[in-house]
Chains A and B, each alone.
Chain A
Amino acid sequence: MPFSTLLLMALRSLWRNKSRSILTMLGVIIGVGSVILLVAIGNGLKQYVTDQFEQFGANSIYVAPGELFGDSGGGFSSNDQVTALLSNTLRYEDVLEIRRMREYISDASGMAMNSAEVTYKKASEKPTILGVNASYSVISNTKTDVGNFFTEIDEEKKSQVAVLGYNIAQDLFGSVDPIGKTILIKNRPFKVVGVAEEKGGGFGGPSFDDYIYMPITSSFQLFDSKIVVRIVAAAKGDDTQSAITAIEEYFLKRLKEDEFSVFKQDEILKVIDQILGALTAGLGGIAAISLVVGGIGIMNIMLVSVTERTREIGLRKALGATPTVILTQFLIESVVLSVSGGLIGVGFAYLIAIVLDQFLPTAVTLGAVMLAFGVSAAVGIIFGVYPARKASQLSPIEALRYE
């Protein structure tokens, strides 16, 4: 008998038992969907964090208070950082000194971080205010959408000017052009000179799009605090290592080895990669469990459904179905269930990933799709065929008598 007839018969049989078919597919859908989704979240996080650091050039160097990659943990040990911040380890003079290392450093910027009430007319927000040097725009690759970044002259004059992050500009001004408008930061008037390009991201904390940039000198004055939380520098050429050594030598004159950290982008990326790699693997592991559970679900339902259909198999055999025909019908049924369940699972994961991307960075990878789909299809087919094979070998009498 032609394969198309068998295929049609199998499809009709699935259609007639819609709820059973849907239940079987559900196992595959959930298994496949969760694997793809969890791996996508892991990968998305990794990509996001990496991107955040990669927007600073490959030759950028960071100076942070405290010991970031110390022996105690090797990660970002926050206690040390807090202590270091409070003890005001980094000073603005350090920025100026590092700038003077012309041999190694092309430019440097300090970073001061504060938070304050910002209002424009009736709109009011409380964003993070980042005090930076004018050179920050080049080092961090922060371009303006409209207007310009503030200049070194603004820095010297402690001008009351601000550059808005993309989101904060939207929040405060909506459709109004913010350039030249005056906003109140801590009740002091600041003129908006630029709006930064959209940088995206922003899960679990503010993104650069939510920041307001102002000259670091103005920020010192406004907040009456000279705390520098980071220094970002761009090394001259590719010799980042010599620049790091020079900066370290400079700080060692004043500070102990564990009171500051100098590192380059690669090192951060490496650590982040490690942490998030472990995270992805962990999520993948959880997802793999759900895939196994899904697989067992498929096996269960296939076993039950074949057992439940023993009489039907007996009847079909009595009416002239050969064992091969029976086996083929069940094979087609389980392939159709597993594959369509897998496809729906992929589709669902994709849709959820798109929705989730609004809040959490996600990246659906082909590898995860193939793995999840392959495993579920294999499980469905194997566990569908095994009971079917047993059933196809039953004598029609035994099968017909089955209750």
Chain B
Amino acid sequence: MSAPLLELNDVSKIYSIGDETLYALCHVSMKIFEGEFVAIVGPSGSGKSTFLHVASLLDKPTEGIIKIKGKEVTEYSEAETARLRNREIGFVFQQFNLLPKTSALENVLLPLIYTGTSEHERIRRSKEKLEEVGLGDRLKNTPAQLSGGQQQRVAIARALVTEPAIIFADEPTGNLDSKSGQEIVKMIIRLNNSGKTVVLVTHDNSLAQIAKRVVKVADGKIVSDELTKWGKADSKIYKQWPAWQTKQSKHTDGDCDYAVLREDD
């Protein structure tokens, strides 16, 4: 069996406020394998956003080890981490986070600039991705000229353009009306069906059911890790399932004083 795509080993995120030590993440261990579609669910303040930040290398854990494709990356420098994010991780944010006054095409090719891809290649690949998300005729439009759903599709194209190993989507439908939200959901499902590893972070339990595996987070800990009907149906990826399942934390409840942190939403 190949190494997991992403592995968190006993990861904690600790904030010190005065004399108090507060755990936003408490000794979390988890493995995510290639082709999976994992939903991280939890209410506001549960620590799911912190989980996302740490797992997607946007933030450093205070304790513990993170491995990407079997390689430990916890001690990487900031520049090395940035390059790793650039190559291996795609982001879809709730707020879209597109550059204003910048065309869809230029927004999508932005990560490729940091990869060092030639201009010709950047444009070719970005156009390709925009066509894939159905915006082939909106290359020149700026975010202000696009609807919310279209903006999020630009963001998905941007997340895909570097062909990353894993896509993190943080409440991708949170800022959209239900119709646009549905479109984005379908697009994410299609992505996973075509083989991309997807991690969806949401507070919405019903939205989480589109995933194949649902990990519930509360008080900075993983409280459950189950397959959905889609996961159970996918015997190809989940044939070794019980081995991947996150075991109950060996730490007891009293171990971590939990900090309620401001969430993105």
Contact = CB atoms under 8 A, between A and B. Distances in A.
A17 B142 CA distance: 13
A-B pairs, 8 with minimum CB distance: A320-B86, A322-B79, A320-B114, A319-B111, A1-B116, A16-B101, A322-B82, A315-B97
Contact of B97 (A12, A325, A400): A400
Interface of B: 53, 58-60, 78-79, 82-83, 85-87, 91, 93, 97, 99, 101-102, 106, 110-111, 113-116, 119, 158, 162, 264
A194 interface: no
B79 A324 contact: yes
Contact of A397 (B59, B87, B111, B114): B59
Contacts of B111: 319-320
Contact of B87 (A315, A320, A401): A320
Contacts, number: 64
B101 A321 contact: no
B93 to A, nearest CB: 8
Contacts of A315: 97, 99
B58 A322 contact: no
Nearest to B114: A320
Contacts of A16: 101-102
Nearest to B60: A395
B97 A320 contact: no
- Interface size class on chain A is 20 to 34
11 contacts: A1-B113, A311-B97, A316-B114, A320-B115, A320-B162, A321-B114, A322-B78, A322-B79, A322-B83, A395-B59, A397-B53
Which secondary structure dominates where chain A touches chain B?
helix
Contacts of B99: 312, 315
Contacts of B60: 395
Contacts of B58: 318, 395-397, 400
B246 to A, nearest CB: 24
A323 B114 contact: no
A318 B85 contact: yes
Contacts of A322: 78-79, 82-83, 114
Interface string A16-51: 110000000000000000000000000000000000
B110 A316 contact: yes
A312 to B, nearest CB: 6
Interface in A354-403: 395-397, 400-401
A1 B53 CA distance: 26
Contacts of B106: 12
